[in-house]
């Protein structure tokens, strides 16, 4: 008679379960790594205590699936296989051949897939649906891992009067800039002066350059406007393009685009870490509620 190693509620953990687990360890994708809290797939091979804990956790999950009536039908498994084939752009027959090529028995794989679907439904119901990762959580993690970064940066709206040194040379362009600056300081309207003097194609719109964030524009202009108040103007600013008189027409704080680019990936990482913590706590709670007898 086969040895019963443990009894989890009404579920038996048999010696043959250890042998079956060893087979699964040697095949890709048949071990649920989310249940390996303090070990890895490799260390599971030779650690009987870790194997027993893994099998007990599996039995607890199976018990909960039955209790919550989350058992799936063969039709649901068939549908999952069809979806997998479609996602991988292969036929169902080709998918089964791929599975065989990885050393997996299609019947065993169907059984594993069935358990995976049931487990996923259980996790969605008991844990994932209750997890919340806010943008603020992602921002705090971003600042923790990138201490030199800032949560927000300046966004500027600017206009300029541009003097092109290609028209008569740098000295002549500088003189035109000085003339325009003198008129501006005398009280003439910036937008009118832009239409009169600017050698930029945007002069017809009052010299507007639109909006840009810190680090996105000419560094000489960014430095010149950094301490301006809205509607103030700079002295003559020299850049690699030529000479400018710049007016700050708007300024506001906006989210750092570097954070925005990473936000969803950070939230996914936090969600995964939170899921693992909650799963460990949930399983511990279920162990305490369960009747577990170990015969070793």
CATH number at residue 244: 3.10.50.40
Same domain, 81 and 158: no
Q: Is 33 helix (H, G, I), strand (E, B) or coil?
A: helix
In a domain, 197, yes or no: yes
Same domain, 85 and 163: no
In a domain, 270, yes or no: no
Same domain, 185 and 246: yes
Which of 241, 236, 239 minimizes the C-alpha distance to 193?
236
Same domain, 60 and 171: no
In a domain, 74, yes or no: yes
CA distance 91 to 86: 7
Does residue 151 have a pLDDT over 80?
no
Indicate the number of domains in the chain: 2
Same domain, 288 and 221: no
Same domain, 124 and 204: no
| Sign of the alpha-carbon torsion through 103, 109, 113, 116 | negative
Which of 199, 127, 120, 123 minimizes the C-alpha distance to 166?
199
In a domain, 261, yes or no: no
Same domain, 111 and 8: yes
Q: 270 is written with which tokens?
A: 């936090």
- 57 and 285 in contact (C-beta within 8 Å)? no
Domain range enclosing 97: 4-131+275-294
In a domain, 136, yes or no: no
In a domain, 147, yes or no: no
165-186, pLDDT tens digit by residue?
999 999 999 999 999 999 999 9
249-282, pLDDT tens digit by residue?
999 888 778 888 899 999 999 999 999 999 999 9
Can you give the CATH number for the domain in which 14 is found? 1.10.4030.10
**The pLDDT of residue 245:** 95
44-71, pLDDT tens digit by residue?
988 999 999 999 999 999 999 999 999 9
- Phi, psi for 255 (deg, rounded to 5): -65, 140
**The pLDDT of residue 203:** 59
For 130-147, b/e burial (b = at least 16 CB within 10 A) is: eeebeeeebbebbeeeee
> CB neighbours (10 Å) of residue 283?
19
Helix residue ranges per DSSP H, 88-214: 92-101, 106-126, 135-145, 170-185, 190-197
Same domain, 245 and 284: no
pLDDT interval class at 2 (50, 70, 90): confident
CA distance 109 to 190: 74
Does residue 202 have a pLDDT over 70?
no
CA distances from 39 to 18, 26, 68, 258 (A): 16, 16, 29, 35
- Full-prediction pTM beyond 0.75? no
- Cα dihedral 268/273/278/284 (nearest 10): 150
In a domain, 120, yes or no: yes
User: Averaging pLDDT over each range in 182-186, 191-195, 292-296, which range is the top one?
Assistant: 182-186
More confident residue, 275 or 107: 275
For the segment 121-143, the average pLDDT, to the nearest whole number, is 93
For the segment 196-213, the average pLDDT, to the nearest whole number, is 80
In a domain, 142, yes or no: no
Q: Is 292 helix (H, G, I), strand (E, B) or coil?
A: strand
Which residues, other chains included, contact 271 with Cβ-Cβ below 8 Å and sequence gap of 6+?
131, 133
Same domain, 122 and 174: no
Same domain, 163 and 192: yes
Same domain, 159 and 251: yes
Same domain, 283 and 218: no
pLDDT interval class at 204 (50, 70, 90): low
For the segment 118-147, the average pLDDT, to the nearest whole number, is 92
Q: 186 is written with which tokens?
A: 């005398």
**The pLDDT of residue 274:** 95
């Amino acid at each position: 008679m086969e040895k019963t190693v443990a009894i989890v509620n009404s579920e038996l953990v048999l010696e043959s379960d250890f042998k079956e687990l060893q087979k699964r360890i040697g095949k890709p994708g048949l071990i649920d790594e989310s249940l390996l809290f303090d070990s890895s797939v490799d260390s599971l091979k030779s650690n009987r205590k870790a194997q027993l804990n893994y099998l007990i956790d599996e039995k607890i999950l199976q018990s909960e699936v039955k209790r919550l009536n989350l058992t799936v039908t063969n039709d649901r498994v068939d549908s999952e296989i069809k979806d997998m084939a479609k996602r991988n752009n292969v036929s169902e027959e080709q998918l089964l051949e791929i599975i065989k090529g990885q050393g997996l028995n299609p019947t065993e794989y169907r059984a594993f897939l069935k358990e995976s679907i049931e487990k996923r439904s259980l996790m969605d119901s008991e844990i994932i649906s209750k997890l919340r990762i806010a943008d603020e959580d992602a921002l705090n993690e971003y600042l923790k891992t990138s201490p030199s970064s800032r949560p927000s940066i300046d966004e500027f709206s600017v206009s300029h009067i541009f003097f092109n040194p290609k028209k008569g040379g740098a000295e002549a362009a500088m003189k035109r800039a000085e003339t325009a600056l003198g008129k501006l300081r005398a009280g003439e309207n910036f937008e009118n002066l832009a239409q009169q003097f600017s050698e930029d194609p945007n002069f017809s719109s009052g010299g507007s350059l639109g909006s840009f964030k810190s680090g996105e524009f000419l560094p000489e202009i960014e430095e010149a406007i950094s301490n301006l108040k809205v509607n103030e103007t700079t002295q003559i600013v020299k850049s690699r393009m030529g000479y400018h008189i710049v007016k700050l027409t708007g300024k506001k704080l906006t989210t750092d685009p570097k954070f925005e680019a990473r936000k969803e990936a950070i939230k996914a990482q936090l969600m995964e870490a939170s899921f693992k913590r909650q799963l460990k706590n949930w399983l511990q709670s279920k162990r305490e509620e369960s009747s577990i007898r170990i015969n070793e």
